Amino acid sequence: MKAIEFADVSFRYEEGGPLAVSHLNLSVEEGEFVAVLGHNGSGKSTLARLSNGLLTPDAGSVRVFGQTVNEKNLFDVRSQVGVVFQNPDNQTVATIVEDDVAFGAENVGLAREEIGKRIDFALRAVGMEEYRHATVARLSGGQKQRIAIAGVLALMPKVVILDESTAMLDPRGRREIVDVVTRLNKERGITVILITHFMEEALLADRAIVMNRGELVMEGAPADIFERREELVTYNLALPHIGIICEKLRAGGMDVAYTLDAAVLAKEIAKCVS
């Protein structure tokens, strides 16, 4: 089943302005983990907002589980497609963790006991059970984002979209978030769309796509995408650090595979040197 399907979608923020998304065709299968890469302004955030009806396309259509997104089914679409945003400070409504996680479930009018169960489930899924009664303001950036994910999970969505949710975090926070979404995908079969500008994060996905000026310009397995490095550079994407090391060693004449896995690279080097 196709979770999300973009059919020739175009969108611009203001009339006469540039197309933020232009004739985009894209489909994401249920249970898939897709990474979306692109430099700032490439249209990747617009993609997230079009997927759950926060924005409506100017042309073309967006379908969620076969249903074309429109005014009437927004409620339904939004409880199926959860979006987590960038700034950890600007997504929580309540002061206490459990109250915030409850917010979405309250909005759709669930019974008290059911909301309680949803909070249990959502906090467990992001590994934050112990923080149920904590004050959101005192959590770290990574923890705040995990709460934001839990807040979305309380609606039992089938798709979770992270719109640059790791951009403002420190390395530890980034790792926390990536771990959580990988687990959601592998263990609970939730479809994940990870929008990021860190290529290292995209490695974990089943499929990566690259956006540039509102268009989908590259698509494929993450490892294959990173192989096409000249192309990546033209889309203003920087190679990950490990890629640069591989390149330099190869330029020096060493025969190491182009890999993005540190352990593999270490083995390769050891083989050449000893």
Please tell me whether residue 17 binds another protein under the rule CB under 8 A.
no
* Contact flag: residue 79 with another protein (CB under 8 A): yes
Tokens at residue 133, please?
């009664």
Query: Within a 10 A sphere around the Cβ of 240, how many other Cβ atoms?
Result: 17
Token pair 């083995």 in the structure block, residue: 267
Stretch that binds another protein, among 4-12, 19-27, 134-142, 212-220 (CB under 8 A): 134-142
- String of contacts with another protein for each residue 199-238, x by CB under 8 A: x------------------------------------xxx
Task: Note whether 95 binds another protein by CB under 8 A.
Answer: yes
Residue written as tokens 């020739």? 8
**Least distance to another protein from the beta carbon of 117, Å?**
11
Nearer to another protein by Cβ, of 14 and 90: the residue is: 90
Buried b (16+ CB within 10 A) or exposed e, 207-233: bbbbbbbbebbbeeebeebbeebeebe
Query: Do the Cβ atoms of 123 and 101 come closer than 8 Å?
Result: yes
The residues in 142-171 that bind another protein, with binding defined as CB under 8 A, are 148, 151-152, 155, 167-168, 170-171
- Asked if 258 is part of the footprint of another protein (rule: CB under 8 A), the reply reads no
Instruction: Determine which residue in the list 105, 122, 125, 218 makes contact with another protein, applying CB under 8 A.
Output: 105
Residues ≥6 apart with Cβ < 8 Å to 271? none
d(CA 247, CA 226): 12
* Of 103 and 182, CB closest to another protein: 103
Q: Which position among 102, 205, 208, 216 is part of the footprint of another protein (CB under 8 A)? A: 102
Is 106 within 8 Å of 115 (Cβ atoms)? yes
Closest distance to another protein from the beta carbon of 13 (Å): 13
* C-beta of 25 vs 257, nearer to another protein: 257
Residue type present at position 84: V
Q: Binding marks (x or -) toward another protein, 25..44, rule CB under 8 A?
A: --------------xxx---
- What's the DSSP call for residue 65? T
Site string for another protein, 180-199 (x = CB under 8 A): -----------------xxx
Name the one range near another protein by CB under 8 A: 1-9, 19-27, 62-70, 92-100: 92-100
Q: Strand, helix or coil at 265?
A: helix
Query: What span, in angstroms and rounded, lies between the C-alpha atoms of 121 and 75?
Result: 21
